Amino acid sequence: MTTFLDGAVADPERFSALFDAHYEEIRGYISRRLDLDIAEDLAAETFLIAFRGRDGFDAAKGGVRPWLYGIATKLIGRHRRAELRRYRALARSGPPPDEDGHDQRVVDRVAARVTVQQLSAALAGLSRGERDVVLLVAYGELTYDEVAAALGIAYGTVASRLSRARTKLRDTLGVEV
């Protein structure tokens, strides 16, 4: 099913509607995965790449939202090493005392007894593919179909990666996820 925003992808004059509808959501997803200071730049770059590659958008493969999340996730992948260093550092030291960062919000969702250090270590212990799937579901609130479209993988791959990740997180954290 094609939506108004799907049509806005192909039309440079209407592309701003797509930006207005999804920028904050994409920026929020990126800021939860990487430092806040880079989120604005990567969110803007996501839309720049989308605009430049709009001729390659195929609504039959998925909607605009998973397409944008896919672009953002690929950009995050370029910054993966910094993300892993951050998770490992947080696992060792925890967040600064006055920071209510993304890790703390995730911790609150998983369980009150799970510490930032434990969660960061658990996320760092996942494979890149598992971590991408978990964070697209948790932060982006994407469905399995949308995650598959965002990452360009099969639905079954999403399900198996999420299942493996949940098992690893449950074993590491000792709580149901």
User: Using one digit for the tens of pLDDT, what is the confidence trace for 108-142?
Assistant: 555 444 566 788 888 889 999 999 999 999 888 89
Quote the CA–CA distance of 25 and 21 in Å, as a whole number.
8
pLDDT number for residue 174: 80
User: From the CA atom positions of the chain, what is the Rg in Å?
Assistant: 17
What CA–CA distances, in Å, run from 138 to 32, 90, 131? 10, 19, 10
> Contact, 142 vs 136, CB < 8 A?
yes
Closest CA to 30 of 157, 158, 107, 132: 132
| Length of the chain, in residues | 177
Quote the CA–CA distance of 103 and 25 in Å, as a whole number.
18
pLDDT number for residue 127: 93
pLDDT lower than 50: segments of the chain: 1-2, 4, 98, 107, 111-113
The pTM assigned to this predicted structure is: 0.64
Quote the CA–CA distance of 72 and 77 in Å, as a whole number.
9
